[in-house]
Chains A and B, each alone.
Chain A
């Protein structure tokens, strides 16, 4: 995009008050904190220039999706051996249960692609087609055992709130790639079934101790996509343009009197606000999308707020230069009725995930766009509540869970990590969420140990103080 031309077109009548550097400072940072608001840039050339992170809120059941445990069929209703459980702490939702009977997955698994991953192709037929383009991780683990701290840990590297999330770090490290839209956008999809949702708080996309402009901007599916983006009724763009021009002329007079450089920042702030106003309606108007697109994503993509619609919107955002799109899809917290709930959850996401990968590939963007899919922890092999062959519940399980990545330098067809027969303990290649964060930062071009921000006298970082490693096996 040609910055200067856009500016000239827009403010043809005004004199050019600002250079490109000043504009950059507004997009990425505030003037007052200019010296500390931006990192020095990536440490090495990034594989992934952008990220679309699909967070499945509630903790999907790994052994019902990607962590195939055929032996469990023989363990139906048998007690989980103490040698497996090893006294691990449980949530207080099941710690009072008298028994911990094993609940084998009711779903049919089959091997997918060349990589041969055993997966639940019954519920994920689309994703199965992409098995060889996806980097499968079956040995994630975390310390957190309840949603709120676990989602926080997954997003910010720490269970305690107040740290910046991955998206904020990406914004801080790499800055903006466009001049009309935020760097970091959050989309919250509405699941078809909403009976067991978990709270998703704006604190998850807060910038923590990073400067506030690195916070995620939540685009909404109801009402204005960006808060206050629309002019009040009766104010057309031409009138708004005129009013901002007048406003800026007045501000310029004030600048002449006081000489405060912040006044110029203010002028840019209003220009950029106007450009956002102009570009967002185009962004959210799907009428320019071809029939092919809707065939790919499915008709659900036309309904605002569905996961399919959100996935399509995520593609449109990264296409327009948004650096990081965080998507939340809720209702994966299956304490009971795994059999009943899993189909609609999978149906919500299966085709759209496939479509997103395919769509980006067709547009030549998959190579430098990283897609991440996963929840905040896994679930237990033993049932919570009643057990039958067809139905069972599962409690939270932090000791192992599955996620996947694709594009952006992730290794397609890789299957990393292995759990025991009970999908309870990791037996090969444990992947702590810190390692995962370190690896994602690596794909973004950062050495996680040197990617820091000074706060409270310390060089803070996403991966915290405990050891973390970049996992080479996940890299293409």
Chain B
């Protein structure tokens, strides 16, 4: 007994506590284990590993940190080297000695682990060592091979290979399948599984008749037909969107709007197009790395951008980026590998061959991204996004680049050809001829303000009396057109009653200005009464910003726009001009600086249709009516037009002063830029063709900009070009404790990346769909199976590792995985196989015998029956009531929601704090389109176990709580649907009670009610009717629930009574179950 094993094993209490807490193991599926264990020969995976995993691996397994005495029992060679196992000789194996030890200091597992081997387990281990102690890789790491379908007794039952594999299992357990469900029930099930919606009664009748005659052929045709419906993609997509953690908000802190619904729509389209699952995968993992990726392939990479992000002040960028990478690796692990890779974040996986290094090597693939650490609380997350024009805009969007290029070429060609005519013009041009280009139509004020002395100025476009200043004027010599006046209180100009405009008239105004300092707020040109609620209009210096006001009374009846940028440069001459189109809308105002239109933000938008902006105060230069002066600023060349002049005209006004000085310079002394400026002036103002050609370009670019502005954006993944993928191992997962640097690599214990695959996400994607990958196909078919049967063949779809559940039907899982892969990853084909099987067609009848021997239906001894997911529950009642809108795609919808759901989690200033419910059609859209705020998901859906979409979910819970009953009984959307169904039923039946019940049942359950059921409902209806006839006000209130109108032709009490009946029927267990 001097083996290294004995020598190194020490009991260390603190270490034990750690190890026991993290890795105490689960009991295996006792029923199946017991069944097979009795059958020799012993198999490591089936018989031995569960015992070792449960009792030994926590301290003697894969985790190098928790490992005791360096001994590993999960590796045959190490166990033999340490003499824990001597193949063929149990008595010489320390493992056997120690598990049979009586001394509490020596016995394994140690008593304080609270683990104890049974006599049977001890015997099993002994026999296994005696037989040679052969190990196996964990089943899920062995590439699946198509098994030979076994022979069965009841050959006639078998429809396809699935049934053979299921039936063999049933027969081995002495169970027989349940007879086929009746055709109505089967069709409802089929319809729900393919489309997520209940069938229309006409389709039920048609199927029943067709199926009775053509059997399997009929079923096959109907499945094909239903899969052609776009509802197929909507239904399949929602499972994938859980896995992809798709949501409409960033997820953390402000949890503001994050726009990426084009990705959601792409998923729907991909399923409807039956995109092969391998392509579906490659595009989502690495669409951006494909050569010349299409718009769709880029949208697909949104899968990696769905992770939650933050903009919380104080968070540390490096930590955020580490968290984002962790989320991506976790999602990748659960969705594709069925592995709890997240364990590897802090320590080597305790049970699966997945190390911390593997974790960060995977993280390296995903960290090489341009995504920033903070999302800015804005919809584009300040990151790489794609503008995705909506369907209707796509033709123009695609045509515009070519048209713009052609128009630009035409324009440039004219520019080439007009040079001769320009030279001719230039030869005779002078300052007066330049001015000819200026707009004169509608000019009511033109004040050059270049007198240089005195306290008067003249209106150049009107030869009447000069205007007096409000006091002594100070002139400065460095004007733009000679000496200029400097504004001060008592030194501005009063232009009298000019510029008397109403808010529905268009006008334009502006000047050359030199702001005095950046701390000033003051009127540049204004006809505004400070003492009369600021009625009037103005051009306004606001620090370094320029604003324009159109005011009836401030602020409750007024418009104000301000430049988005700090455009004013105090001490420099700038040309500033505003135009207003008389619309009373903020976008009717434009502000130009040096001839260029500036982006604006709207600071006030309350102007009412009946507002007036006319005021008795004068038009003034340099101030509003009393005190608000453009202090220290200089002003020249003030122009006011009685119309909205266009951008080209504003530009010509702004250009004219510099052009004069260019023209005044001798030609040989003009720089090329100055000469070009003259040429541009000529082209725009004198050439016959050029303005038309220029306008064509401008219009096309404006059209492209307009489409861009109204197009949604979607977040896409983008590889950083300046660095190869790499990451640091983070010690214990902490971002600020970086360890070894690792390259991007797939888990070392798995198959290598395919030959020639690049070491980036594209290579990773190819590795996923490589035939050598043992997991992707299995994990995927298992999730599909889970969708149909309510539980997977592996009941832990996120964990195919050692500690996950063992497959109930390993051969079936492998057969399906191989079939899926070899069919070209054909999703529809795989589902069809499942739906055609006799296994699927069984009735969902639970006998006491089956309850006893196959309680959870793991053996598939009956058809699937389980409470539907939140989306199906809601969509189902909308469909049955005829309210369901067929409209697809688009921004998230906001159906009925109780008040106060968002604001309780919202922050002041957050853009998802106030829930504004939709009206009309958007209340009745399919649930896959519902806006998903991750901090406060739609409460009616959450009650039915819909996830928050904060992190990846590959398996939803299915609980039954009273809160669900409250939703389907009382939520306005359910109650409104009940009323709608009631009125449809009454209208269809002409008021006959039995026929009305039949209508309701056919629409909700796909079958008629039997006599007993009818009796109960008729009696209830009598009672309800009696009540509502006695309380018509209650009846009126009841039928008024919801946005849609009740049918006024129907008797109010009758409709109320039937609404209650429909409310009962949609709440039936049968209605809520598939």
Q: Which residues of A contact B (CB under 8 A)?
A: 26, 29-33, 89, 91-93, 145-148, 160-162, 188, 194-195, 197-203, 206, 211-213, 217-218, 220, 222-224, 226-236, 238-240, 242-243, 246-247, 249-251, 253-255, 257-263, 265-267, 269-270, 272-273, 276-277, 395-396, 449-450, 452, 454, 456-459, 461, 464-467
Decide: B1012 and A253 in contact? CB cutoff 8 A.
yes
CA–CA, A250 and B951, complex, Å: 39
Q: Which residues of B contact A (CB under 8 A)?
A: 14, 17-18, 20-26, 114, 252-255, 310, 312-316, 323, 340, 343, 350-351, 736, 798-799, 801-804, 844-848, 851, 856, 865-867, 898-900, 904-908, 935-937, 939-940, 942-943, 945, 948, 950-951, 957-967, 969-972, 975, 1010, 1012-1013, 1016-1017, 1019-1020, 1023-1024, 1027-1028, 1031, 1033-1041, 1056, 1060, 1063-1064, 1067-1070, 1072-1073
Interchain residue pairs A-B with the least CB separation, the first 7: A457-B803, A234-B1038, A91-B314, A234-B1037, A273-B965, A459-B24, A273-B962
Decide: B908 and A194 in contact? CB cutoff 8 A.
yes
CA–CA, A162 and B804, complex, Å: 19
Residue of A nearest to B1070 (CB): A254
The residue that A243 contacts in the complex, of B951, B957, B1064, with Cβ under 8 A, is: B1064
B951 to chain A, nearest CB (A): 6
**CB contact under 8 A between A246 and B22, given known A273-B965, A457-B803:** no
B1008 to chain A, nearest CB (A): 14
CA–CA, A211 and B957, complex, Å: 7
Residue of A nearest to B66 (CB): A465
Most A C-beta atoms less than 10 A away, residue of B343, B951, B1019, B1070: B1070
Decide: B17 and A456 in contact? CB cutoff 8 A.
no
Residues of B within 8 A of A454 (CB): 26
CA–CA, A232 and B969, complex, Å: 9
Decide: B314 and A461 in contact? CB cutoff 8 A.
no
The residue that B14 contacts in the complex, of A235, A251, A467, with Cβ under 8 A, is: A467
Residues of B within 8 A of A243 (CB): 1020, 1024, 1060, 1063-1064
**CB contact under 8 A between A458 and B253, given known A148-B310, A203-B948, A222-B899:** no
CA–CA, A247 and B967, complex, Å: 15
CA–CA, A101 and B20, complex, Å: 46
Decide: A457 and B970 in contact? CB cutoff 8 A.
no
Residue of A nearest to B308 (CB): A161
CA–CA, A17 and B350, complex, Å: 47
Residues of A within 8 A of B969 (CB): 228, 231, 240, 270, 273
**CB contact under 8 A between A249 and B1016, given known A30-B958, A239-B1027, A457-B803:** yes
Decide: B948 and A202 in contact? CB cutoff 8 A.
yes
CA–CA, A227 and B14, complex, Å: 46
| Selected A-B contacts with CB under 8 Å, 14 pairs | A30-B960, A146-B315, A148-B310, A148-B312, A161-B950, A211-B959, A227-B898, A227-B967, A235-B1060, A246-B1020, A247-B1064, A269-B965, A457-B26, A457-B350
CA–CA, A233 and B1031, complex, Å: 12
A274 to chain B, nearest CB (A): 8
B980 to chain A, nearest CB (A): 14
Decide: A465 and B18 in contact? CB cutoff 8 A.
yes
CA–CA, A202 and B949, complex, Å: 12
A311 to chain B, nearest CB (A): 18
Query: Known pairs A197-B907, A212-B961, A266-B960. 19 more at Cβ < 8 A?
Result: A92-B313, A92-B314, A162-B950, A195-B908, A197-B908, A199-B907, A201-B935, A201-B936, A227-B898, A228-B940, A234-B1031, A234-B1038, A238-B1027, A246-B1016, A246-B1064, A259-B851, A260-B844, A262-B1069, A457-B350
The residue that A224 contacts in the complex, of B898, B948, B1070, with Cβ under 8 A, is: B898
Main secondary structure of the interface of A (DSSP, over half): loop
Residues of A within 8 A of B960 (CB): 26, 30-31, 262, 265-266, 269
B1010 to chain A, nearest CB (A): 8
Decide: A203 and B950 in contact? CB cutoff 8 A.
yes
A265 to chain B, nearest CB (A): 5
CA–CA, A267 and B1069, complex, Å: 8
Residue of A nearest to B1023 (CB): A242
CA–CA, A201 and B900, complex, Å: 13
**CB contact under 8 A between A259 and B847, given known A226-B966, A276-B966:** yes
Decide: B1013 and A458 in contact? CB cutoff 8 A.
no
Residues of A within 8 A of B967 (CB): 227-228
The residue that A253 contacts in the complex, of B943, B957, B1013, with Cβ under 8 A, is: B1013
The residue that B1067 contacts in the complex, of A91, A212, A247, A261, with Cβ under 8 A, is: A247
Total cross-chain contacts (CB, 8 A): 261
Residues of A within 8 A of B975 (CB): 232
Residues of A within 8 A of B1033 (CB): 234
Decide: B957 and A266 in contact? CB cutoff 8 A.
no
The residue that A239 contacts in the complex, of B23, B847, B1024, with Cβ under 8 A, is: B1024
**CB contact under 8 A between A227 and B959, given known A197-B908, A260-B846:** no
Decide: A212 and B959 in contact? CB cutoff 8 A.
yes
CA–CA, A191 and B940, complex, Å: 28
B934 to chain A, nearest CB (A): 8
B1034 to chain A, nearest CB (A): 4
Residues of A within 8 A of B908 (CB): 194-195, 197
Decide: B340 and A456 in contact? CB cutoff 8 A.
yes
Residues of B within 8 A of A276 (CB): 962, 966
Residue of A nearest to B970 (CB): A228
CA–CA, A89 and B737, complex, Å: 13
Residues of B within 8 A of A263 (CB): 1069
Decide: B970 and A250 in contact? CB cutoff 8 A.
no
Residues of B within 8 A of A199 (CB): 252-255, 905-907, 935
Residues of B within 8 A of A464 (CB): 21
Decide: B958 and A32 in contact? CB cutoff 8 A.
yes
CA–CA, A213 and B960, complex, Å: 8
Residues of A within 8 A of B1036 (CB): 234
**CB contact under 8 A between A250 and B950, given known A234-B1056, A242-B1020, A263-B1069:** no
Residues of B within 8 A of A231 (CB): 969-970
Residue of A nearest to B734 (CB): A143
CA–CA, A87 and B753, complex, Å: 44
Residues of B within 8 A of A233 (CB): 1034, 1037-1038, 1040-1041
**CB contact under 8 A between A269 and B962, given known A201-B936, A250-B1068:** yes
**CB contact under 8 A between A272 and B18, given known A199-B253, A234-B1038, A261-B846:** no
CA–CA, A464 and B866, complex, Å: 34
CA–CA, A265 and B851, complex, Å: 15
Decide: A228 and B1020 in contact? CB cutoff 8 A.
no
Decide: B25 and A457 in contact? CB cutoff 8 A.
yes
Residue of B nearest to A92 (CB): B314
Decide: A270 and B965 in contact? CB cutoff 8 A.
yes
B968 to chain A, nearest CB (A): 9
Residues of B within 8 A of A206 (CB): 948
CA–CA, A54 and B1023, complex, Å: 48
A197 to chain B, nearest CB (A): 6
Residue of B nearest to A180 (CB): B962
Decide: B900 and A220 in contact? CB cutoff 8 A.
yes
CA–CA, A160 and B330, complex, Å: 13
Decide: A467 and B964 in contact? CB cutoff 8 A.
no
Residue of A nearest to B1038 (CB): A234
**CB contact under 8 A between A254 and B1020, given known A231-B970, A234-B1037, A449-B17:** no
Residues of B within 8 A of A188 (CB): 904
Residues of B within 8 A of A396 (CB): 314
B180 to chain A, nearest CB (A): 15
Residues of A within 8 A of B252 (CB): 148, 199
Residues of B within 8 A of A201 (CB): 255, 905, 935-936
The residue that B22 contacts in the complex, of A145, A200, A235, A458, with Cβ under 8 A, is: A458
Residues of B within 8 A of A30 (CB): 958-961
Decide: B803 and A456 in contact? CB cutoff 8 A.
yes
Residues of A within 8 A of B867 (CB): 262
CA–CA, A332 and B21, complex, Å: 35
A463 to chain B, nearest CB (A): 8
Residues of A within 8 A of B804 (CB): 457
CA–CA, A131 and B407, complex, Å: 83
